[in-house]
Structure 1
């Protein structure tokens, strides 16, 4: 069985920046074990698998090299980029996943793709896990949490950039990941994202967590439009807009690879 595959760098305007994701579109859903095996073989932050439901509407699932992920923003951007490239008549597509529902994706004239997501605003917590404090080299000013991750808030961008993390400690927080964030200099806010329990040590750019970061910083800065930067080694820029209980994320993407993979047909029946 031959499957077409594309690899896209998301949340960047230059190749080898942002976060890479693989995109595989099939007419019918693949076996879960096969999707996980392909994602592990790809060894990228995420591999997105899409199945068409009707014209311009697709079901989407995301797999890291370790497990299925409930919500992934950068692989959604990569998927939309591939769909718009393959179907020039598309200016809008809808992607759907159980954890986030229907996601409206628009192709903008300025080279950006806009994704409309639910807001997952974090809430402050009092009982901070010892593994979180032990896993970060700098103690945070405040800790919040949503359904995806712990939010460690700092006073300065410098703290976020120089901070070191302990993979073994942060693994103990599973199934939750950890995002560290602070006000930015050039940007409204900056962040870094650690997810040893679900994918890897540090994720280059994490779209999904900005559905929590953007509402938080919107409240703190009293702004509905924000510019964000994820300060990983590869780095990535996101434009965020708050509209009620929705978060619009805009980003650019760059194509890296088109090809095909071959798997034993029996692998999809086990």
Structure 2
């Protein structure tokens, strides 16, 4: 059996930047064990498996090399890029996934693709896990958490860029990951906020660009900065840009994408 595969660099328009995701679109689900094996073989942050219902409606699942992931933004962007490329007349598509329900994807201006996600505002913690303090080289100013990750707030963007982590200690926080963030001062590009994302328990050491966590970061910084439209930068080695808009219970995340590979898997 042969299955088409695309690899897309998401949240960038420059090849070899942003976050790479593999996209596999089928009419029926592959067995779970096979999907996990393919994700391990791809060895990317995520492989998106998409079940086609019709031209506009799809179901989507995401697998890291370690496990199935509840919610992945950059692989959703990558899958949307592939579908829009194959159906050039489409302006809107819809994905459904268990953790986030229906996600409406639309073509936006200047090659941006906009994704509508639930608002996952983090909440302040009364007590901070010891593993979180011990696993990071810089102490937080504040710590919050949402359904996905601990949100570590730093005073300055330089702290986000320079912080070092201990993966073995941070693994103790499973099933939660860790995002560190600060206001975007001292960073080129005039970003409202920046971040880095660590997920040793679920995917690897550091994720290059994490669309899903911005459904929590954007509402947090929207409230802090008193603005609904924000420009974000994830300061990994590859780096990526995200445009965020907070509108009540929805967070709209937009990004660009570029094709890296189109190929065939032999099964």
Q: How would you bin the TM-score normalised by the shorter chain?
A: over 0.9
Cα drift, residue 127 of structure 1: 1.2
Q: Deviations over 1:10-65 (max 9, x none)?
A: 00010000000000001101100000000000000000000112230000000000
Distance 2:13 2:52 in 1: 28
Distance 1:93 1:47 in 2: 19
Distance 2:102 2:166 in 1: 36
Distance 2:90 2:161 in 1: 39
Which residue is equivalent to 1:17?
Answer: 17
TM-score (norm 1): 0.97
Q: How does 1:202-241 map to 2 (within 5 A)?
A: 202-241=206-245
- Root-mean-square deviation (Å): 0.6
Distance 2:133 2:192 in 1: 25
Distance 1:28 1:219 in 2: 42
Which residue is equivalent to 2:199?
Answer: 195
1:106 aligned onto 2:106:
yes
Q: Deviations over 1:228-254 (max 9, x none)?
A: 000000000000000111000010000
Cα drift, residue 109 of structure 1: 3.4
Which residue is equivalent to 1:183?
Answer: 183
Which residue is equivalent to 2:162?
Answer: 162
Which residue is equivalent to 1:136?
Answer: 136
TM-score (norm 2): 0.98
* Number of positions where the alignment pairs a residue of Structure 1 with one of Structure 2: 263
5+ long unaligned stretches in structure 1: 264-270
Cα drift, residue 173 of structure 1: 0.3
Q: How does 1:115-126 map to 2 (within 5 A)?
A: 115-126=115-126
**Aligned-partner SS, 2:109:** coil
Which residue is equivalent to 1:81?
Answer: 81
Distance 2:174 2:211 in 1: 20
Which residue is equivalent to 1:268?
Answer: none
Distance 2:129 2:239 in 1: 28
Distance 1:221 1:79 in 2: 32
**Aligned-partner SS, 2:40:** helix
Q: Deviations over 1:180-218 (max 9, x none)?
A: 000002210000000000000000000000000000000
Distance 1:93 1:142 in 2: 38
**Aligned-partner SS, 2:53:** strand
Cα drift, residue 164 of structure 1: 0.2
5+ long unaligned stretches in structure 2: none
Moved over 3 A (4+): none
Distance 1:245 1:6 in 2: 32
